[in-house]
Chains A and B, each alone.
Chain A
Amino acid sequence: MRKSFMLEELDCAHCAAKMEDAIRKLEGVSHASVNFMLQKLTLEADDSCFETVLDEAAAIIRKIEPDCRIVR
């Protein structure tokens, strides 16, 4: 399944790159990209574990940029 999410308050481009790297390394993720200009996360992962992957991604994002949130 491939889905896009808005990222609120994504303020730092360097952080966006870090998020992208970290989310790509999550288990079950086949493709991930964080677009700083569009404030958008595109996540492609197995249907079976999509929700858990999304939670893990949210945790990563919170760690790297505390103010930034995924709009689900």
Chain B
Amino acid sequence: MSRKQKRELWRILSAAGALVVVVLLTHWLEWPWWADLLCYLLPYAMVGWDVLRDAGRGVINGQMLDENFLMGIATIGAFALGEYTEAVFVMLFYQTGEWFQRLAVGKSRRSIAALMDIRPDSATVQRGEEWIEVSPDEVAVGEIIRLQAGERVPLDGVVVSGESTLDTAALTGEAMPRAVAVGDGVISGCINQSGLLTVRVTQPFGESTVSKILALVENASERKAKSETIITRFARVYTPIVVAAAVLLAFIPPIFAKHYLAAFPDWLGRALNFLVVSCPCALVISVPLSFFGGIGGASKQGILVKGGNFLESLSKVDTAVFDKTGTLTTGSFDVVSVKSEAFSESELLLLAVSAEQHSSHPVASALKKACADAVFPEISDVFEFSGRGISATVSDKAVLVGNQKLLLEKQIPFTPETDFGTQLYVAVDGQYAGCITIADRIKPNAASAIADLKTTGVRRTVLLTGDRTETAEAVATAVGVDDYYAELLPADKVDHVERILADSRRAVMFVGDGINDAPVLTRADIGVAMGALGADAAIEAADVVLMDDDPAKLALAVRLARRTMRIVRQNIVFSLAVKIGVMLVSAIGFGNLYAAVFADVGVCLIAILNASRTLKIQ
């Protein structure tokens, strides 16, 4: 509680005390009406002077229909009708509500600030012989920074010396620390947990991961969801309409009464209730707060949502379309089987690796991984057949490693394999020697992630891939997607997504690794990029970015979106129902100012508290 809030609280409490004294005094003592009025004006002024002052300022500044003005009119009206206690009490009630409301808003603001508290304050940079502490934006690319254990990584870079583990939870929501050593990249916003690291900076602060994430989350509130825009527009017309209705209610019905002047005070009283409920604050605070909270809460889990509008479409997803490599599979190839005819399996593998030892093709790195400790023999006469394979002389043997096409081309008879994965056929001295199958691993939790997504109400799941039909079928069966389409070019993927969009009744989500899927990511109702920690292309193209590769976050994202939308709807329905209810009851003469103030500040407070639930994740 700030000093101002404490002062306000004391003011409200002392005015309440004064009101009690005045009520008792006027009850026991028989005073003329003007003495009663003067007595009541004391607590009224204590609690409401600033409301009246702001109302006055509002009128001067041309802001006629602000909350202060309406409260001022309503309470002065109550005094005019002789309802002294009610007038003071209503002002007291209003200020109490406002006080709680400010407290709740302050608390939500602090929670949001805490969510976004990943901005590094300083960096320790090497300048000459010295290490000096500077603001992260003063560090240039290529400079060396030092990170003590417990420090937040201020800038993106590459480890030059030392090893440690990084806590990436603030960025990815992932609790497992990530080990880093010399040559590994480090990402700003993580926390260095154990060792001393020196890091060469690779990105200026403005383009670092942490700056991008913060900009993304802050700007997310500018892409407003449809329901948010509707509420803002509605709020603009709501107040004038209710005030107009109040004026009509005060002056028109008494015409039909026998004596206009005798009936007028009753109708005026009813109209005052309208004025009090005419402030749309419950909606204009709680709806944006819900979206903001939803986006903030999701980012805490490593799910970056670029705007309230995307949260809205995410909640409507009924079809999920997946890319294969890097999305459902890890994207790194491993040797899964070796079938040898003439040599032992390890000999065959060694021959193939040796031939490929200088190649940078993903196939070569998969082979190298499979025999990490081996010493490769010298090779000569290396020749690469683009897109087909490689030939080389290894220990006086002519080794050919390639796909089906290459062996057909060289007219070497071989036994075709149809296992899941990519086949590398090996020929030695013109004779077929065997086949090595390498494959991309399916992510261990891909199947459970898709099953989980189905429980959130996603009815159809589709796999789109450029890979062979056999591989696509194997992956589709293993992870449990409903349909698959294989051997697609990027343009075909767009066509398929178009068709899926036409079939879907609600919204289509496309999940890809974000680098080569940009057209599809943009075309789908909602594009989700996977494994984007540090990858610019994905952050640009996608609407939602999953910071760690984890497909299990998809179901979580959909659930968070649904929950946020549910809270938004609850607030809209609840606020409007109470306000309209109070107006109806008032119009037929059963309402009072207490109910009206509740429908104003009470409802607003409840809506804020409800909205702040979006910040918390179960």
Residues of chain A whose beta carbon lies under 8 Å from any beta carbon of chain B = 11-15, 17-18, 33, 35-40, 63-64, 66
Contact = CB atoms under 8 A, between A and B. Distances in A.
Interface of B: 54, 57, 61-63, 66-67, 102, 105, 108-109, 112, 218, 221-222, 232, 235-236, 279-281, 284-285, 288-289, 292
Main secondary structure of the interface of A (DSSP, over half): mixed
B224 to A, nearest CB: 10
A15 B285 contact: no
Contacts of A37: 108-109, 112, 221, 288-289, 292
Nearest to A4: B218
Given A33-B221, A36-B288, 14 more contacts: A14-B281, A15-B66, A17-B235, A17-B236, A17-B284, A36-B285, A37-B108, A37-B221, A37-B292, A38-B218, A39-B109, A63-B63, A64-B61, A64-B63
Nearest to B292: A37
A14 B66 CA distance: 9
Given A14-B279, A17-B235, A38 B285 contact: no
A30 to B, nearest CB: 14
Nearest to B222: A33
Nearest to A33: B222
Given A37-B112, A66-B57, A12 B218 contact: no
A13 B231 CA distance: 12
B232 A63 contact: no
Contacts of B63: 18, 63-64
7 tightest CB-CB pairs across the interface, nearest first?
A: A13-B285, A63-B61, A13-B284, A14-B284, A37-B292, A66-B57, A14-B281
Contacts of B281: 12-14
Q: Which of A17, A33, A40 has the most CB of B within 10 A?
A: A17
A26 to B, nearest CB: 16
A11 B67 CA distance: 12
A17 B235 CA distance: 10
29 contacts: A11-B102, A11-B105, A12-B67, A13-B281, A13-B284, A13-B285, A14-B66, A14-B67, A14-B279, A14-B280, A15-B66, A17-B232, A17-B235, A17-B236, A18-B63, A33-B222, A35-B218, A36-B285, A36-B288, A37-B108, A37-B112, A37-B289, A37-B292, A38-B109, A38-B112, A38-B221, A40-B218, A63-B63, A64-B61
A66 B63 CA distance: 11
Contact of B288 (A13, A18, A40): A13
Q: Which of A15, A17, A37 has the most CB of B within 10 A?
A: A37
A66 B280 CA distance: 20
B277 to A, nearest CB: 14
B62 A63 contact: yes
Contacts of B112: 37-38
A66 B54 contact: yes
Q: Which of B280, B284, B289 has the most CB of A within 10 A?
A: B284
Nearest to A35: B221
Contacts of B232: 17
A64 B65 CA distance: 11
Nearest to A9: B4
Nearest to A31: B222
A20 to B, nearest CB: 9
B56 to A, nearest CB: 10
Contacts of B235: 14, 17
Contacts of A11: 102, 105
A63 B60 CA distance: 9
Nearest to A59: B61
A2 B542 CA distance: 24
Contacts of B280: 14
A31 B399 CA distance: 65
Contacts of B222: 33
Nearest to A67: B54
A35 B288 CA distance: 9
A17 to B, nearest CB: 6
Contacts of B57: 66
A12 B105 CA distance: 10
A53 B105 CA distance: 29
A22 to B, nearest CB: 10
